[in-house]
Amino acid sequence: MVDRVLVTGVSGFIGGHIAAELLRRGYAVRGSVRSQTRAAEVRAAVTAAGADDTLLEIRQLDLLSDEGWAAAAAGCRFVLHVASPFVTTKPKDPDDLIRPAVAGTTRAVDAALDAGVDRVVVTSSLAAVQYAPASSDHIFTASDWTPPDRRDLGAYVTSKARAERAAWDIADRRGARDRLAVINPGTVIGPLLSDDPGTSVSAIQQIMAGALPMVPDLRLPWVHVRDTADAHIAAMTSETAGATRTIVATDPSSLIDAAAVLRERLPEESKKIPKRAMPTWLTWLASVFEPQLRDNRWLIGSAQRFDHTPVEALLARPLRSIPDTIEETGRSLAQRQLI
């Protein structure tokens, strides 16, 4: 009998790659979308990724509604909760982001445990780790927690910190901690499955499109989307992954370095890439006026480091090369004429 996996947010960048990889491995996938109008797009995406969509089923679920969650989880051996609101700009009301993130995670974990799944894997974020109080030479691990009630955090960071806390609280309350695993990815990039670049890939897109006159010294903890997908699936099946959270990210590297990789490896697509690097001090100054820089100000000149040992043990291999990942992302954007 084929094992069925519920993947919420299957129309998203990470969710789509997870679904495609599960289908390639022979699982049946029940994917959730906010609207059935996305169903054809999802099928086209997984097919383009080389997966057979015969075992793909699409359900409609809303993070803010109880309707359909129990039925979606019924008959599934695993649940991967990937769906979450994700925006780079500050919402007018932080609750517009925080409330659906927490409510959706609560519904997904409760529905999974009610259905008796072997494991539920929740997609959190590195943001739920890297705001922990720490010294400048600290290496962040799964033991580090972003304080969910810290007042100077943006809505996105707060949403991820509170949603992950909610997942663990439910698992503890129900005595099911070993049936929960959490993945904490960094800035996820890689080949697109549709023409929607999403939020993380837009950083590479903006460089290639010459959106700024100089490349800012914004340092991001990149990770390949396929590493992220593989980590979810490994956490789903590994006997030792229960009751763990796993950082899936590399140490931050600058957009300046990303631009250099793109110029070297994709010279035919580098005409618009700025040749001048924005110094760290000027990046800080520009962040006063540029909303995306302002919202990510804490990443300017970042020198954070992360413990990669757990994810490499989970995957039984190193994470993919970031220069190769940046090149692959750039080629995908160019092929889809998105720059």
d(CA 101, CA 81): 11
Query: In the predicted model, what is the mean pLDDT of residues 10-27?
Result: 97
Nearest alpha carbon to residue 109 among 35, 11, 182: 182
The reply to whether 31 and 62 lie within a common domain is yes
Q: Which residues pair with 16 in a beta bridge?
A: none
Buried b (16+ CB within 10 A) or exposed e, 177-194: eebbbbbbbbbbbbbbbb
For the entire predicted model, the pTM comes to 0.95
Q: Are 199 and 86 in contact (CB under 8 A)?
A: yes
pLDDT of 292 reads: 67
* CATH number of the domain where residue 115 is located: 3.40.50.720
The reply to whether 169 and 313 lie within a common domain is yes
Lowest model confidence (mean pLDDT) among 124-133, 158-167, 298-307 = 298-307
Q: Tell me the residue range of the domain where 42 lies.
A: 4-186+224-249+303-319
Name the DSSP class of 36.
G
pLDDT of 322 reads: 97
The reply to whether 29 and 178 lie within a common domain is yes
Active-site annotation, residues: 160
pLDDT of 299 reads: 73
- What is the token pair recorded at 245? 């959270």
d(CA 217, CA 215): 7
pLDDT beyond 60 at 78: yes
Number of domains the chain is built from: 2
The reply to whether 234 and 213 lie within a common domain is no
Phi, then psi, of 135 in degrees rounded to 5: -75, 165
The reply to whether 123 and 230 lie within a common domain is yes
The reply to whether 217 and 175 lie within a common domain is no
The reply to whether 237 and 274 lie within a common domain is no
